[in-house]
Amino acid sequence: MSSICVDSFMLENGERYCHVVNKKTGEPLYYPNLYITTQVRNRSESISTMKVIAGSISLLYRFFMRKEINIDERIQKRIFLAHHEIDDLIEFTSFNFKSGVDSDFGVTNVKKPTKYFRITTIANYLEWLCKILLSHTGQKDTIKEILVFINNIKRKKPRNNDKYVMDIEKSLDKAQLDSLFSILSPGSNLN
């Protein structure tokens, strides 16, 4: 079972809220919760949106725990995720953990829109985290490095090509168009 999870609760004023917590220690994770508060809650997103974003971020931190990656430290040293680590992360985002099983064996895959949302959320979070942790540098090279890193992640989003595949051709070919226009032309015997 994973030790990183999303915990939801109600504030004293009746507002529902959620945060990312380390189950073993009971402590909230600092940067994920700062992101949820400043970037999600302050945009007046619904609690369900906050939960799915928090879920994607908790998934990211579960991946980091498995791979023993200290992302804060690595970003501060400008050692961003390598291509093989990004590939592993993308594969990890495709797993469905609803069954409560937290191992790669026997885990089913989520659908493309879910994977797309997870990768988008993770990329947005990591971009924000890089900017927070490296804001003191202010160098153009740093910004370029961050953009290359984030674009390497965003490039891995699944494409929904199914939308653009037409099973049945719905337009007329050139011969059919010529025939139609000849019929519709003034003075045609078929008009």
pLDDT at 140: 76
Total domain count for the chain? 1
Helix (H) or strand (E) holding 83: helix 83-93
pLDDT, position 7: 93
- Tracing tokens 């997103």 back to the chain, one arrives at 45
pTM of the entire predicted model: 0.78
Q: Let me know if residue 190 belongs to a domain.
A: no
Structural domain boundaries, residue 156: 4-184
Residue scoring higher pLDDT (11 or 102): 11
Q: Give domain status of residue 180, yes or no.
A: yes
Matching residue, tokens 């302050």: 42
pLDDT number for residue 131: 92
Query: pLDDT over 70 for what percent of the chain?
Result: 87
Q: Which residues pair with 10 in a beta bridge?
A: 16
Residue 191 belongs to a domain? no
| Sign of the dihedral through C-alpha 131, 135, 140, 141 | negative
Using the structure block, give the residue that is written with the tokens 């895959």.
109
pLDDT of residue 105: 56
Helix-helix angle 112-133:140-154, to 10 degrees: 170
151 belongs to a structural domain: yes
Chain segment 56-92, per-residue pLDDT in tens: 999 999 999 999 999 999 999 999 999 999 999 999 9
pLDDT beyond 50 at 144: yes
Q: Residue 132 pLDDT > 90, yes or no? A: yes
Whole-number Cα distances in Å, 2 to 58, 64, 76: 10, 12, 26
Q: Write down the pLDDT at residue 130.
A: 95
Residue 93 has what pLDDT?
Answer: 94
Residue 33 lies in a domain: yes
Residue 2 has pLDDT above 80, yes or no: no
- In a domain? residue 138: yes
- Average of per-residue pLDDT values in the chain: 87
189 inside domain: no
pLDDT score for 156: 92
